[in-house]
Structure 1
Amino acid sequence: MYKYFKHSYLTCFIVPSAVMTIFLAPQWAFLIPMVITSLNALVDNLTPPDRSVPEYSQHWILDAMVYLYVPIVSAYLFSLMWIVAPGDWLGLSATVSALVPVDLLAIKQEAGLRGLLASTFAVGYVLSSNHLYAHELVHRTTDRIAMLIGRWLLAMTGDAQFSISHVYSHHRNVGTSEDSATARRGESVYAFFIRSTLGQYRESWEVESQRLANSGKPLLSLHNRVLSGLAMTGFIYLLWYWAAGLIGIAVYTFVIVLAKFLFETVNYIEHYGVVRVPGTRVEPRHSWDCDSRMSSNALLNLSRHADHHANAHKRYWELETVDTSLQLSYGYIGTIVVAMVPFWWHRFAAPQLESWDRNSASPEEKILARQANQLSLNPVFMHGND
């Protein structure tokens, strides 16, 4: 039975615990990111990898773990909204006090500014996981309910366009200069965050422009999924303004930026430095892969990214690890920490990319790799060009 719940780490444990922490001890909410980061890094680096692909007969349980995340993370966002709002917004504390001997309002007032700041950072950190669950759902392009729920998860982090750019642009253009979500050799995660974020919106707009032109529908309308996605996020902004005015707007903006940055760091490590000839088949070798246990179990097998790009139709529980030249040996969370220190990251990535160039790249890709090394202007890539 364990195999059905090994991917329920966020849904059944982390996010519910985080909700309780923000309501009952908001001044300690900064521990939430610390616990998640430490737990993931320790398990990934101190336990054997998990390369198993169990057989499942009850797929509805695995789907339930995805859909159950939605109300729980919504409660998490609401917990911050209540902390930021003045007084006992919506009478929540009074309602709770009538049921159990807990005075939420007194706890919030005692936590003060420290509680607000700690809770804001903790919510922004955890909401980056919305992309994990939405990623699973928006790939189910023929399932309208899955697509709608996935887009709302993304709208919570101001990124509903991801359902367009990821599925219809990134998967087609990965590893090429046309893909904003493929990090260039020598590029820092900070520069990538800006370029990738803006580029994905451009790609989504281009996809929607073509789709609406083909169907004869107006571009500047809610038929445009870029605009409808922004409207969804705008609705959430209105809720924040209703709850806490301009302070609520500022807090929610910080949450969105932090959540988006953390997920773009995931994008960064998944294809960093890979090159591919446009129009050629996307193969497992065009992604970095990871078989670390916690990365696999906690992140819906997103770490098995090479198989995902080669077989995008697979559900998360069907994905397999691949022995490619590019391996994230620290696990996802550990590698994200490394990526935030560019000097460290480039020296981690360069030897593996050199091996990839030599052993995995096609003849045409070897030429592109040499050009990428030269354009990087980074000595760790340029030394082997001659």
Structure 2
Amino acid sequence: MFRYARFFIGPVFFTGVSLLMVLGHQWLWLPGFLLILSVVLFDQMLSHDSVDQPYAHSGILDFALYLSLPAAMTFFFMLFWVAGSGTQDPFGYGAFVQSLTGIDVIAARNDTAWYHYALMFVILALPATGIGGLAGHELTHRTADPFALWLGRITMALNWGIAFPIEHVYGHHAYVGTMKDPATAARGDSLYRHIPKAMRRTVVNAWEIEKARLDKVGKPFLSLNNVLLRMALVAAATSAFAFWCAGWTGLLFHGIVCCSTKVVLEALNYVEHYGIVRVPTQPVQPRHSWNCNHVVSSVFTYNLTRHSHHHADAQVHFQDLHAHAEQPSMPGGFLAAILSSFIPPLWRRMITPKLLEWDRTQADRSEFPLIRAANQASGWPELQQSVANNAAPVQAVPQGGLGY
């Protein structure tokens, strides 16, 4: 039974974290901090999950995914409520909580120091990305299921994630490991160098993909047939709701969360694909992304940690992904890798041995020219020890094969 119940932990816990925000002060960030700390620690303490046992009742797990939308909506309402001041009380929620608990939450909100809000934005970026971005990611891959696809796009549009569902499904999975892929960071690129390029390329790719689709079916680009424009309407409606709840402060809070969750999503992509290369004409294989079989991270990311299988077959539902324990694994576990990526010297120290191992045990000889060029461009002397650097002389690199 726990095999099914564990995938409900994410939306249930995050809803609880969101509802506690009404108490103000440390309750804006402490529950989220404890959640993140628990995931990192238990990932290190528990053995890896390499069991590939099928699930007989997939509909139960689909429902766990569907809960992501109400969980995300709860978070955004609570965010806009705590952004208020004075007597602002959207839908009378503060008065309702006081009638139930006797706690004057409006007074608590108005008395909360600024630094608690600053910590809230930093801490909640990770779980907010998880409940909205990662559940939405899984749902938008279900292109044969109109309801799941709609739900995933709506969930991601709440925080202005309108380009990702299009580019990721129809672009990234085809381009991974090449320079056209926004998510594949080049060797030597820090997270801070990678993010601006990734954001720009994601938007450009998404508009190109959607325009090509509309041209193919003979529909005008500037119309409601454009999925990107429909998602933008949902995003704009969310921003308008933020303004209605708390004025300009609500709009500012929404903007900060949208930006921070986008940064976290790019950091996630950064650690999942860092430095891996692929000859553009060759098929995507499990070895072309970093894998992770840490138990707790798998629960909160809907098995996105089993990234190798996800890229080998993007239509496989999360509960059916195989562990692929023999594939290259990211350093330290999912959340540990993401957090370390924000400290470039630490990330460099952690990822370099992994890159050298990938070159030695996973790379195909046809990829050696790409690896040599990438190692040279990185400026990291330690990568010159790669087995690819000591192989045949560098050949012409196929266009699109160097990452950035």
What's the TM-score bracket when you normalise by the shorter of the two chains? over 0.9
1:113 corresponds to: 114
1:3 to 2:9 alignment: no
2:229 corresponds to: 227
User: TM-score, normalized by length of structure 1?
Assistant: 0.94
Moved more, 99-108 or 346-355: 99-108
Paired with 2:328 and 2:214, the residues of 1 have a C-alpha distance of 39
Q: Which amino acid aligns with 2:30?
A: L
1:65-97, CA deviations, whole angstroms, 9 ceiling, x for partnerless residues?
Answer: 111122122111101111112322332222333
Paired with 2:121 and 2:48, the residues of 1 have a C-alpha distance of 33
Paired with 1:307 and 1:235, the residues of 2 have a C-alpha distance of 36
Residues 331 and 350, structure 2, Cα contact 8 Å, conserved in 1 = no
Local SS of the residue matching 2:314: coil
Q: Which amino acid aligns with 1:63?
A: D
2:360 corresponds to: 358
5+ residue gaps in structure 1? none
Q: Which amino acid aligns with 1:278?
A: P
Q: 1:335 to 1:258 in 2, by over 3 A?
A: same
1:275 corresponds to: 277
Q: Which amino acid aligns with 1:184?
A: A
1:255-300, CA deviations, whole angstroms, 9 ceiling, x for partnerless residues?
Answer: 0111111111110011110111112111001010111111122211
Paired with 1:191 and 1:81, the residues of 2 have a C-alpha distance of 32
Paired with 2:347 and 2:115, the residues of 1 have a C-alpha distance of 33
Residues 295 and 331, structure 1, Cα contact 8 Å, conserved in 2 = yes
Q: Which amino acid aligns with 1:230?
A: A
After TM superposition, give the deviation of residue 123 of structure 1 in Å: 4.0
1:302 corresponds to: 304
2:399 corresponds to: none
Paired with 1:179 and 1:120, the residues of 2 have a C-alpha distance of 29
Residues 155 and 232, structure 1, Cα contact 8 Å, conserved in 2 = yes
209, 212, 230: which one aligns with 1:210? 212
Residues 177 and 184, structure 2, Cα contact 8 Å, conserved in 1 = yes
Q: 1:212 to 1:321 in 2, by over 3 A?
A: same
The residue correspondences of 1:236-251 to structure 2 (distance < 5 A) are: 236-251=238-253
1:48 to 2:50 alignment: no
1:266 corresponds to: 268
1:213-245, CA deviations, whole angstroms, 9 ceiling, x for partnerless residues?
Answer: 111111122322222222221111111112222
The residue correspondences of 1:124-139 to structure 2 (distance < 5 A) are: 124-129=125-130, 130-139=132-141
Percent identity over paired residues: 32
2:98 corresponds to: 97
Local SS of the residue matching 1:190: helix
Paired with 1:327 and 1:122, the residues of 2 have a C-alpha distance of 26
Residues 181 and 196, structure 1, Cα contact 8 Å, conserved in 2 = yes
Paired with 1:227 and 1:59, the residues of 2 have a C-alpha distance of 32
Paired with 1:141 and 1:362, the residues of 2 have a C-alpha distance of 32
The residue correspondences of 1:317-336 to structure 2 (distance < 5 A) are: 317-324=319-326, 326-336=328-338
After TM superposition, give the deviation of residue 364 of structure 1 in Å: 1.7
Q: Which amino acid aligns with 2:129?
A: S
CA RMSD of aligned residues (A): 1.8
After TM superposition, give the deviation of residue 324 of structure 1 in Å: 4.3
